[in-house]
Amino acid sequence: MKPTRRSWAEPFKIKVVEHVRLTTPEQRLRAITQAGYNTFLLRSEDVYIDLLTDSGTNAMSDWQWAGMMLGDEAYAGSRNFYHLEETVRRFYGYRYVIPTHQGRGAEHILSKILIKPGDVIPGNMYFTTTRLHQELAGGTFHDVIIDEAHDPENEHPFKGNVDLDKLEALIRRYGPERIPYVSIGATVNMAGGQPISLENLRAVRALTARHGIRIVLDGTRVAENAYFIQQREPGQAGRSVADIVKEICSLTDACTMSAKKDALVNIGGFLAVNDETIYEEARNLVVVYEGLHTYGGLAGRDMEAVARGIEESVQDDHIRARVGQVLYLGNKMRDWGIPIVVPIGGHGVFLDARRFLPHIPQEHYPAQALTAAIYLDSGVRGMERGIVSAGRDKDTGQEHKPRLELVRLAIPRRVYTQAHMDVVAESVLAVYEQRDKIRGLRMVYEPRYLRFFQARFEPL
């Protein structure tokens, strides 16, 4: 059959390859049993297509690798730090930059500076490490995302939006003095990689400005968010992704960044702020927890790779191919009737375990069980994003029971081909056709913090 439209392809070609290993069903059963049915505890050698995370799993370009050779490994004042600082100013627009080993390093420092015990931090859905650092600093996170975000079947184009009524009610209830900042994720990872609109962010800015409350951006996937704005928001189609990224940042006061995602590196992050007083404090604290303020736990070469990665990450052709691959996988599964979160997000496809496995109650960890079942079928590794990830209430100790009970298949940037995506979709379909046979799990080991990383399970 002749094509009805012209195809497009990735704006790069492959120069180096890494071999992956196919395993047998027996090998996979042994591996997942040893891993306590937790895909975080598998050895990567036992994985065929690794969609555990898009964090630090990106393929760097030859230009980034060339930059690695230009690492200035001086303890203080590395040339690569100044390049990173200049790049952050140019593409994001923040005045001051403090490198950190990864995103949570920046979250730790900023939470310690801005949050006092008893404070309240509103945000457009929680993220695991972000909320934990807010809580360890004595604060309490409050979700102010729109209700649509908690409904995997709702097609709202900006499910990352803040519900302004919820935010205003919170400000009225606690008073602006107990709200150090509003925490804005772009895109929202836990909602399925869903974007916030410029219109909504501008409205959040106007509301918080009236009360003198700051906005802190989680800029981890801000380029993907900007792409969705360009594609979906009225009046934005003619702008470049780079231009939209800069506007998003300009509507916020500070940003914590895990460079391991959109910024196309394997390790790194930073904190960026406009306020000089906060900067002074952060510059001092980073020495305690990460390293001197001109390296923050990173090698010079890593800072160079981040600087170059940021520049590549906001190019329109790059981001179209990146999100395009995610859409390709998601649309395929959707066409086959597999229940996924819609609209399809920026960094991965999220399976709706509630609809996939309606016979397993949430207490028996359906998304965890589904993640293990997919691994057993094909060696494709995903991650649970449901009740296990949500953890326990810090005051009552009860399990949080999120409405979203998901399996995330996160796509590393520039790593896999369209044929890999086909294999993944076919494996999920095979599991879907056998879904009645999947049983729930019992948790047999539970760590105190961020339990999803190291918890162990057994089949019921």
Ligand X SMILES: *Cc1c(COP(=O)(O)O)cnc(C)c1O
**Residue 420 to residue 349: CA distance in whole angstroms:** 14
Contacts of 182 (CB under 8 A, 6+ apart): 121, 122, 123, 144, 162, 167, 204, 208, 213, 214, 215, 216
Among candidate residues 374, 335, 370, 373, the one with its CA nearest the CA of residue 355: 370
Residues 247-276 that bind ligand X (CB under 6 A): 258, 260-261, 269
Residue number, 174 or 453, with CB nearest to ligand X: 453
Residue number, 260 or 413, with CB nearest to ligand X: 260
Kindly state the smallest distance separating residue 347's Cβ from ligand X, in Å.
8
Kindly state the smallest distance separating residue 263's Cβ from ligand X, in Å.
10
Residue number, 102 or 208, with CB nearest to ligand X: 102
Q: Which helix (H) or strand (E) holds 273?
A: strand 269-273
Among 38, 78, 111, 189, contact with ligand X (rule: CB under 6 A):
189
Distances (CA, A) of 98 to 56, 77, 82, 86, 292: 19, 12, 11, 12, 9
**Residue 190 to residue 157: CA distance in whole angstroms:** 16
Under the criterion CB under 6 A, does residue 99 sit at the interface with ligand X? no
Kindly state the smallest distance separating residue 134's Cβ from ligand X, in Å.
12
Kindly state the smallest distance separating residue 425's Cβ from ligand X, in Å.
24
Kindly state the smallest distance separating residue 150's Cβ from ligand X, in Å.
17
Residues 39-58 that bind ligand X (CB under 6 A): 55
Kindly state the smallest distance separating residue 257's Cβ from ligand X, in Å.
8
Residue number, 253 or 262, with CB nearest to ligand X: 262
Under the criterion CB under 6 A, does residue 127 sit at the interface with ligand X? yes
**Residue 304 to residue 266: CA distance in whole angstroms:** 12
| Sequence-ordered alpha helix ranges (H) in 291-408 | 300-313, 316-335, 353-356, 366-378, 387-390
Kindly state the smallest distance separating residue 460's Cβ from ligand X, in Å.
31
Under the criterion CB under 6 A, does residue 220 sit at the interface with ligand X? yes
Q: Exposure string (b/e) for 175-208, b if CB count within 10 Å is 16 or more?
A: eeebbbbbbbbbbbbbbbbbbbbbebbebbbebb
**Residue 95 to residue 141: CA distance in whole angstroms:** 27
**Residue 237 to residue 221: CA distance in whole angstroms:** 19
Only one of the segments 14-22, 99-107, 374-382, 384-392 lies at the binding site for ligand X (rule: CB under 6 A); that segment is 99-107
- Taking residue 1's Cβ as centre, other Cβ atoms within 10 Å add up to 3
Residue number, 58 or 220, with CB nearest to ligand X: 220
298 phi and psi angles, rounded to 5 deg: -110, 150
Residue number, 55 or 378, with CB nearest to ligand X: 55
Among 28, 83, 104, 320, contact with ligand X (rule: CB under 6 A):
104
Distances (CA, A) of 187 to 79, 303, 373, 402: 31, 24, 28, 19
Query: Which tokens in the block code for residue 45?
Result: 């050698």
Chain centroid to Cα 62, Å, comes to 25
Under the criterion CB under 6 A, does residue 218 sit at the interface with ligand X? yes
Chain centroid to Cα 436, Å, comes to 31
Only one of the segments 10-18, 97-105, 384-392, 450-458 lies at the binding site for ligand X (rule: CB under 6 A); that segment is 97-105
Only one of the segments 100-108, 151-159, 191-199, 236-244 lies at the binding site for ligand X (rule: CB under 6 A); that segment is 100-108
Residue number, 133 or 354, with CB nearest to ligand X: 133
Kindly state the smallest distance separating residue 360's Cβ from ligand X, in Å.
27
How many residues bind ligand X (CB under 6 A)? The answer is 15
Under the criterion CB under 6 A, does residue 111 sit at the interface with ligand X? no
Catalytic positions are 75, 127-128, 218, 261, 385, 452
Kindly state the smallest distance separating residue 260's Cβ from ligand X, in Å.
5
Only one of the segments 102-110, 151-159, 327-335, 443-451 lies at the binding site for ligand X (rule: CB under 6 A); that segment is 102-110
Contact 77, 410 (CB under 8 A): no
For 345, half-sphere exposure in the C-beta direction (CA atoms, 13 angstrom radius) is: 31
Contact 346, 224 (CB under 8 A): yes
**Residue 270 to residue 19: CA distance in whole angstroms:** 32
Residues 146-185 that bind ligand X (CB under 6 A): 185
Residue nearest to ligand X (CB): 103
Residues 326-385 that bind ligand X (CB under 6 A): none
Binding site for ligand X (CB under 6 A): 55, 102-104, 127, 129-130, 185, 189, 218, 220, 258, 260-261, 269
